[in-house]
């Protein structure tokens, strides 16, 4: 039975084949064929993943070595895939949600020309392939290949409409921000090689306890820098909201199933290193919490339907990092899963709205879409409830697990976290109320064309809505029922080593836990009621003023980065160009040329043609030689 896991390479193979066929044949294939190939590849991957998942659930896990990738001296880096509880769970999320997004895209992108349509799906398949490589990789180098792959694909997809300069700039921004993080990751990998002499997860984790805390702190901090780039945390998060430039299903893919979860996955995978480096854990928790609350404040004042969701993603990722930071690894992975469901749902729902509104994204021009788009409305509402953390929807369980763990670590974490959760509920329902309730505020023409999306778009919405509602039941906390947390049980082999190190001396009492849940749910409900009440009747149509303006402008972070990094960098570049390059390097090179010319001009005078002077010089030379010889002896 365990042999079957040796065929794990099938999972990434299908998207790769899909990418090659669609990418190479983009000028010949019809749209039907392209969508069939792309969706088929993902569906095949998903089916195989389910099969492997069941096999892993029976207790199998395997390290599949495919071939030697790099072999230098004592260092050997095989191309290996690791299939265990964590990676198989991610496989399911990636291929499952990925398939739904592919299916949705077939309808959403149907206006594109044939070649561009095929290009889109080729990128999409490559994206999924890279992500699969990332989670399947059995060592840090293979993970890094996938890590770079998703960075590249996000660049390609964000800049998909490459004729628009703003979109290209957004793509470049995403790529550069990611590269900054990738450098941290790369340095961490080098350090790991230097310390452990291997990059395989098994060997590194087994020897982790013998290394000094300082070294582990350094390595984990560098890895975390990588994670802040990929998973959009302070200070490298600014690319994610700009990544909205891509087509909406791409945003869903980046935000829900792939890419941003890479950082969470990497830290969850390296959990033992983080557990052994408490300083890094605190850094992760604080950065996560800061990002969660910071992004939530920005989301409150955004008027672009996708921007709100983007900042909500950044905020939710902050919660995941908070979970990782306080040692609730299961909770973080759980939140990745539920977040994948409801965030994909919300993005696809937003896509459906945008599709119906003919590429209108400003929520101030929407309103009252409830009747025109019934399926979108209902599924979007379910997604909002799920993200707001209302029981028994999925978001409640995962967020509550993280918040409970945060309370154990420090009540301050919990207070800030709950404040963020309250804001989440508020801005999501502000978005919901402004978009779907009240009266329609768009043009007559838009109103005339309003229509529910085709089945290829609504079916993924319905499936995701169901998942968003029931997805939480795999992780029912102990308070409600003993041993009902099947996810924790499933993932326990991954986190045992860490859990043995951190012996929980006291678990939260049941009453405390009920109290925590009660408070967060009550606050979320208040926020929801207030938001719905306020924005369904009288949506804010004016531009924000005062402090709201600061929030609407995203705390001016882009401007600050521009002022403290881009502008000085540009000034230095200009200085180097004008001064160092022109007078320094050019001056040096030209100086050599001019010096040689000058010296030649002077030497030329010696060639006077006067025989007498030649002879004189000759004689002088002889005399000098004689004198020199005389004195040297």
Binding site for another protein (CB under 8 A): 607-612, 615-616, 619
The CB-of-603 to another protein minimum distance in angstroms stands at 15
Q: Which is nearer to another protein, 75 or 627 (CB)?
A: 627
Instruction: Please state the φ and ψ torsions of residue 362, each to the nearest 5 degrees.
Output: -80, 120
Q: Which is nearer to another protein, 73 or 612 (CB)?
A: 612
Under a CB-based contact definition with an 8 Å cutoff, are residues 435 and 366 in contact?
A: yes
The CB-of-612 to another protein minimum distance in angstroms stands at 7
In angstroms, the CA 312 to CA 350 distance is 13
In angstroms, the CA 167 to CA 304 distance is 16
Q: Which is nearer to another protein, 578 or 608 (CB)?
A: 608
The CB-of-607 to another protein minimum distance in angstroms stands at 7
Q: How far is CA 223 from CA 135, 178, 217, 219, in A?
A: 15, 13, 10, 6
The CB-of-621 to another protein minimum distance in angstroms stands at 12
Q: How remote is the C-alpha of 204 from its chain's centroid?
A: 25
The CB-of-633 to another protein minimum distance in angstroms stands at 18
Instruction: For residue 75, give the 3-state DSSP assignment.
Output: strand
Q: Which is nearer to another protein, 526 or 615 (CB)?
A: 615
Instruction: For residue 303, give the 3-state DSSP assignment.
Output: coil
In angstroms, the CA 292 to CA 284 distance is 12
Take residue 200 and report the two structure tokens written for it: 């395989």
Handedness of CA 243, 101, 260, 182 (dihedral sign): negative
Q: How remote is the C-alpha of 618 from its chain's centroid?
A: 79
Question: Given phi > 0 = left and psi -120 to 50 = alpha, else beta, which region is 563?
Answer: alpha
The CB-of-591 to another protein minimum distance in angstroms stands at 31
Take residue 35 and report the two structure tokens written for it: 């969508």
Pure H helices in 256-393: 261-269, 271-275, 278-300, 305-325, 329-356, 374-388
Q: Which is nearer to another protein, 546 or 609 (CB)?
A: 609
Instruction: For residue 363, give the 3-state DSSP assignment.
Output: helix
Q: Which is nearer to another protein, 546 or 612 (CB)?
A: 612
The CB-of-608 to another protein minimum distance in angstroms stands at 7
Closest CA to 256 of 297, 313, 196, 321: 313
The CB-of-602 to another protein minimum distance in angstroms stands at 17
Instruction: Please state the φ and ψ torsions of residue 70, each to the nearest 5 degrees.
Output: -130, 135
Beta carbons within 8 Å of 300's beta carbon, 6+ residues apart = 423, 426, 427, 430, 551
Asked if omega into 392 is within 30° of 0 (cis), the reply is: yes
The CB-of-615 to another protein minimum distance in angstroms stands at 6
Q: Which is nearer to another protein, 3 or 607 (CB)?
A: 607
Q: Which is nearer to another protein, 541 or 616 (CB)?
A: 616
213-230 vs 140-158: helix crossing angle, rounded to 10: 20
Q: Which is nearer to another protein, 509 or 608 (CB)?
A: 608
Pure H helices in 58-84: none
The CB-of-596 to another protein minimum distance in angstroms stands at 23
Q: Which is nearer to another protein, 514 or 614 (CB)?
A: 614
Q: Which helix (H) or strand (E) holds 72?
A: strand 62-72
Q: Which is nearer to another protein, 579 or 622 (CB)?
A: 622
Instruction: Convert 547-561 into a string of H (helix), E (strand) and C (coil).
Output: HHHHHHCHHHHHHHH
Instruction: For residue 82, give the 3-state DSSP assignment.
Output: strand
The CB-of-616 to another protein minimum distance in angstroms stands at 6
Take residue 104 and report the two structure tokens written for it: 């949705």
Q: Which is nearer to another protein, 593 or 612 (CB)?
A: 612
The CB-of-627 to another protein minimum distance in angstroms stands at 15
In angstroms, the CA 355 to CA 345 distance is 15
Take residue 185 and report the two structure tokens written for it: 């990751």
Pure H helices in 77-198: 85-108, 114-136, 140-158, 165-196
The CB-of-606 to another protein minimum distance in angstroms stands at 12
Q: Which is nearer to another protein, 30 or 608 (CB)?
A: 608
């Amino acid at each position: 039975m365990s042999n079957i896991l040796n065929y794990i390479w099938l999972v990434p193979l299908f998207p790769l084949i899909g990418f090659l066929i669609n990418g190479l044949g983009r000028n010949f294939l019809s749209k039907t064929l392209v969508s069939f190939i792309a969706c088929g590849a993902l569906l095949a991957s998903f089916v195989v993943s389910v099969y492997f998942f069941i096999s892993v659930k029976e207790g199998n896990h395997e390290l599949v070595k495919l071939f030697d990738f790099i072999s230098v001296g004592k260092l050997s880096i095989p191309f290996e895939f690791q299939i265990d509880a964590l990676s198989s769970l991610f496989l399911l999320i990636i291929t499952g949600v990925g398939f739904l997004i592919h299916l949705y895209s077939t309808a959403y992108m149907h206006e594109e020309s044939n070649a561009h349509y095929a290009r889109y799906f080729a990128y999409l398949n490559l994206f999924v392939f890279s992500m699969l490589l990332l989670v399947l990789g059995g060592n840090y180098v293979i993970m890094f290949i996938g890590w770079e792959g998703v960075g590249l694909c996000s660049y390609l997809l964000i800049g998909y409409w490459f004729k628009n300069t703003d979109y290209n700039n957004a793509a470049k921004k995403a790529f550069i921000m990611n590269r900054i993080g990738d450098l941290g990751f790369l340095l961490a990998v080098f350090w790991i090689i230097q310390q452990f002499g291997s990059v395989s997860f098994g060997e590194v984790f087994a020897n982790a306890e013998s290394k000094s805390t300082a070294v582990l702190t350094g390595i984990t901090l560098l890895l975390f820098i990588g994670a802040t780039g990929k998973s959009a945390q302070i200070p490298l998060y600014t690319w994610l909201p700009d990544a909205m430039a891509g087509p909406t299903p791409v945003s869903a893919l980046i935000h829900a199933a792939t890419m941003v979860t890479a950082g969470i996955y990497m830290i969850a995978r390296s959990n033992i290193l983080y557990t052994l480096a408490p300083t890094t854990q605190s850094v992760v928790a604080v950065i996560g919490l800061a990002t969660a609350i910071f992004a939530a404040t920005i989301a409150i004042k955004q008027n672009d339907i996708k921007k709100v969701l983007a900042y909500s993603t950044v905020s939710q990722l902050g919660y995941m990092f908070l979970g990782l930071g306080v040692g609730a690894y299961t909770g973080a992975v759980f939140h990745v899963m539920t977040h994948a469901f409801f965030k994909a749902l919300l993005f696809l729902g937003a896509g459906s709205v945008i599709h119906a509104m003919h590429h209108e994204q400003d929520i101030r021009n929407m309103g009252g879409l409830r009747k025109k788009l019934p399926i979108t409305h209902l599924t979007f509402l379910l997604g909002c409830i799920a993200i707001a953390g209302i029981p028994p929807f999925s978001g409640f369980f995962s967020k509550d697990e993280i918040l409970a763990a945060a309370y154990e670590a420090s009540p301050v974490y919990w207070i800030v976290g709950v404040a963020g959760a309250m804001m989440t509920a508020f801005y999501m329902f502000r978005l919901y109320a402004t978009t779907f309730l009240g009266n329609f505020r768009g043009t007559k023409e838009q109103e005339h064309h309003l229509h529910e999306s085709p089945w290829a778009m609504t079916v993924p919405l319905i499936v995701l809505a169901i998942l968003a509602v029931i997805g939480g039941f795999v992780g029912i906390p102990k308070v409600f029922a003993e041993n009902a947390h099947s996810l924790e049980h499933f993932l326990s082999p991954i986190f045992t080593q860490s859990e043995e190190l951190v012996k929980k001396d006291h678990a939260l009492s049941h009453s405390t836990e009920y109290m925590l849940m009660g408070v967060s749910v009550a606050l979320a409900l208040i926020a929801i009621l207030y938001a719905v009440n306020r924005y369904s009747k009288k949506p804010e149509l004016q531009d924000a003023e005062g402090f709201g303006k600061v929030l609407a402008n995203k705390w001016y972070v882009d401007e600050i980065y521009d002022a403290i990094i881009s502008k000085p960098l540009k000034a230095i570049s200009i200085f180097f160009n004008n001064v160092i390059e022109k007078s320094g390097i050019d001056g040096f090179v030209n100086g050599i040329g001019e010096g040689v010319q000058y010296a030649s001009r002077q030497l030329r005078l010696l060639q006077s043609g006067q025989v007498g002077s030649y002879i004189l010089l000759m004689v002088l030379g002889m005399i000098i030689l004689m004198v020199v010889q005389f004195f040297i002896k």
